[in-house]
């Protein structure tokens, strides 16, 4: 298998793993809060009893593992494509879209790993992941559906200026970090509540993190993305 074929196969593996991670992250806040089980009464009758339910303990670690495995596969794909082409992999829309999705996954995974915003730190970032990881998945799906994956030479503008090439790579990373801010802001808008509820500590959606934790994630990602 030549490097170009390996790069495409690794991309498909990363696409599948990203789909699995997306499903897990979306399932975490949407998992049913109430389950019903049958119980026998003293009279011998059977009744349905409501019980509180939580997502399985393995779901969050599975989401995190799938994200890091997807990153590993996509990193191998981009590295193999770089080796096959002898240039950075951003010469066409397929490469840029895949690279942008990879950068989004990387930035999100690092935020989940490092963010420690109190007791809600990692649960808050997982709620953000329910929006951000599917964005990366959509980029990978779009590259597969709409853009050819064949290797092509760099356009003359990028060949003549290494500074312009560095600008493209930096812009990609910056937009990826700001994608995390977008996810945090979107979840914040879902959780937004009147000032009276904010003072009393009430939440609009119990499964979503507090607005304060989401605001901290958004602020940190904006500070990293804009410079």
User: What average pLDDT values come out for the chain (227 residues) when binned by 10 residues?
Assistant: 86 94 88 54 52 71 94 94 82 88 92 67 74 93 89 67 72 88 84 54 63 78 76
CA 30 to chain centre: 16
Q: Which residues contact 181 (CB under 8 A, 6 or more apart)?
A: 217, 218, 221, 222, 225
Q: Does residue 39 lie within any of the structural domains?
A: no
Please report the pLDDT score of residue 82 as a whole number: 87
Buried b / exposed e across 6-45, counting CB within 10 Å, b at 16+? bbbebbebbbbbbbbbbbbbbbbbeeeeeeeeeeeeeeee
Let me know if residue 110 belongs to a domain: yes
Structural domain includes residue 216? yes
pLDDT, position 51: 47
Please indicate, yes or no, if residue 81 is contained in any of the structural domains.
yes
Predicted local distance difference test score (pLDDT) of residue 219? 79
Residues 6 or more apart in contact with residue 103 via CB below 8 angstroms: 172, 173, 175, 176
* Residue 173, C-beta contacts closer than 8 angstroms, at least 6 positions apart: 103, 107
Domain membership flag for residue 47 = no
The answer to whether residue 170 sits within a structural domain is: yes
Q: What is the DSSP letter of 155?
A: P
Within-domain flag for 40: no
Counting Cα atoms < 13 Å in the Cβ hemisphere of 52 gives 3
d(CA 125, CA 115): 8
Asked if the structure places residue 31 within a domain, the reply is no
Q: Residue 67: CB partners within 8 Å, gap ≥ 6?
A: 17, 18, 21, 105, 108, 109, 112, 129, 133
Q: Which domain holds residue 106?
A: 3-26+56-225
Instruction: Please report the pLDDT score of residue 149 as a whole number.
Output: 81
Q: What three-state secondary structure class fits 221?
A: helix
Residues 6+ apart with CB under 8 A from 101: 18, 74, 135, 136, 137, 139, 140, 143
**Count of domains for the chain:** 1
């Amino acid at each position: 298998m030549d490097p170009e074929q390996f790069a495409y196969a690794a991309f498909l593996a990363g696409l599948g793993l990203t789909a699995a991670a997306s499903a897990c992250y979306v399932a975490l806040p949407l998992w049913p809060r109430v389950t019903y089980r049958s119980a026998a009464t003293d009279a011998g009758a059977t009744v349905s009893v409501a019980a509180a339910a939580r997502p399985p303990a393995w779901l969050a670690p599975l989401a995190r593992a799938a994200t890091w495995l997807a990153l590993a596969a996509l990193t191998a794909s981009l590295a193999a494509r770089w080796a096959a082409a002898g240039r950075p992999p951003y010469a066409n829309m397929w490469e840029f879209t895949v690279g942008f999705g990879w950068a989004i996954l990387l930035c999100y995974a690092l935020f989940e790993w490092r963010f420690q915003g109190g007791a809600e730190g990692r649960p808050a970032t997982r709620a953000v992941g329910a929006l951000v990881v599917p964005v990366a998945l959509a980029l990978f799906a779009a590259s597969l559906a709409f853009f050819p994956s064949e290797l092509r030479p760099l356009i003359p503008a990028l060949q003549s200026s290494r500074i312009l090439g560095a600008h493209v790579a930096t812009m990609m990373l910056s937009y990826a970090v700001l994608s995390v801010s977008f996810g945090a802001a979107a979840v914040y808008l879902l959780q937004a509540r009147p000032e009276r509820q904010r003072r009393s500590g009430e939440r609009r959606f119990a499964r979503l993190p507090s607005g304060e934790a989401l605001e901290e994630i958004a602020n940190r990602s904006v500070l990293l993305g804009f410079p």
